[in-house]
Amino acid sequence: MVPDAFETRRVYRTLSADGEPVLAPRIDQLRSYATLVPDLATIASQWRYVNSFSTGTIFQNVSRVPPALTRPAATSDPTASMLQVLRSMQDQNVVLLLSGGLDSRTLMALLHGAGVRFRTATYGVPTMPDWMIAERVSKADGVLWEGIDVRSLSTEEVWTSMVETAIISEGTYSVAHSAVLPTIARQYPSSVIVDGAYGALLRGGFANRLLVKGRADLVTKDAARVEKWFVIRDLEIFHPDVRSEMIAGSRALLQNALDEMPEFNASAGRDWIDEFFLRWNVPGFVSNPQRIYDRWLRSEMPFLAPQVVSDVLGMPSRARSKARLFRGWIQAFRPALRTVPFVGKKGLVPWSCAGDPWRTALYARCAPKHKVSDSGQMELGIVSLMGEHLAERAADVLSTSTVPFHEPLVRELTNAALAGSRPAAQDFFSWLTLALALRA
């Protein structure tokens, strides 16, 4: 068991009672060898920040086996290396998980360019913009498409998927988004699922705001100044007695990550940002779906193929930023895909703005907004499916956690999610994912 360069599949290590090392591909497989002790710094890092900056795990006495393989050197044109990855699937039954965004549509064009026959699938609820645009673009392209409504899933199967996902991802991959995987595996039993995960890394889509507005902070490499650009949640969900320790621990991990980077130079800012996120987002954000998909089905993440990553990031940053490379792939292999708009955060986005954050922001000021955004709809679909059973199971998870949560706030969050609050539903499932991973 050896992890690849990006740890898309982690390997864990602990010591048995007699001091012998034990390896496992899943952290729960080590419970019979040692009493797992939570690591508050790592837990805080992955909860507070956009991704974890820890080289460890959520348990103090479980370590990660470091990758034996390094990233390959850039050797060829990124188009050639990407097509080579996709052509290896020519004899497979391929199902592309299609959203309304740029990344999965770029893979759609590339699959055509590689001569791979495929179908598309989208999961969620039919009112989601992603669902509607994915169906529309598939039909326009003449590709067979299927939508899977999460409200029609088996509740027991969904719960099993949630528990497995929380453990496999160390509490980072929202269990609401993995609920559909057993159904996908059953409907496409001999297929390879292709996912557009991490497309944003290659198209220059990571941390644009930080790159523009956070330069002065990055120059200092001081975690106390830089962390505001990475914080996505506070620690109110945890008991007050541990919050100070968790803040200090997570900040120390960020400081270590910054110290390992070269000095920030604004003229090469995009390259610095991409390298930083490649070091920490890909292996530190355990929600990479590869390992989670492995539990139920075969999958491929072409945007994380090591040679593809090296060849893309070997290009001058200007040649790939603002999705220039992705747009070029669509134009070269399936230009008709440009005719259907893309799903943005606030509304639909035309081809002229796709992948360009500044044009998109200007366009969004006067363009029609989504009647109902994607945000939180998946979570509310699962809430409507499971109802009060979800509250009962959440209460059980809370009572068996090895980390002290702030129980009144958890109960308040649960009630708000059950009442139909989309923001509360998202936060609830983030908490449930972590709490399931930390159960005694």
Mean pLDDT for the chain overall: 93
Q: How many residues does the chain have?
A: 440
> What is the DSSP secondary-structure string of 166-179?
HHHTTT-S-HHHHT
pLDDT given for residue 289 in this prediction: 74
As a whole number, mean pLDDT of residues 307-327 equals 92
pLDDT at 374 over 80: no
Report field, pTM of the whole predicted structure over 0.75:
yes
Across 262-410, the runs of DSSP E, i.e. the strands, are 298-300, 342-343, 348-349
Q: Smallest Cα–Cα separation from 237: which of 439, 427, 416? A: 427
Type and span of the H or E element at 73: none
How would residue 317 be classed by pLDDT, with cut points 50, 70 and 90? confident
> What is the DSSP secondary-structure string of 394-415?
HHHHHHTBSS-B-HHHHHHHHH
CA-CA-CA-CA dihedral for 343, 282, 228, 247, to nearest 10? 130
User: Which CATH number is correct for 78-198+288-342, 1.20.1260.10, 3.60.90.10, 3.90.10.10, 3.40.50.620?
Assistant: 3.40.50.620
Report domain extents, the chain. 1-66+208-271, 78-198+288-342, 387-437
**Block residue for tokens 């120390």:** 252
For residue range 19-61, what is the model confidence (pLDDT) as tens digits? Answer: 999 999 999 999 999 999 999 999 999 999 998 999 999 999 9
pLDDT given for residue 69 in this prediction: 75
Across 203-357, the runs of DSSP E, i.e. the strands, are 298-300, 342-343, 348-349
pLDDT given for residue 427 in this prediction: 95
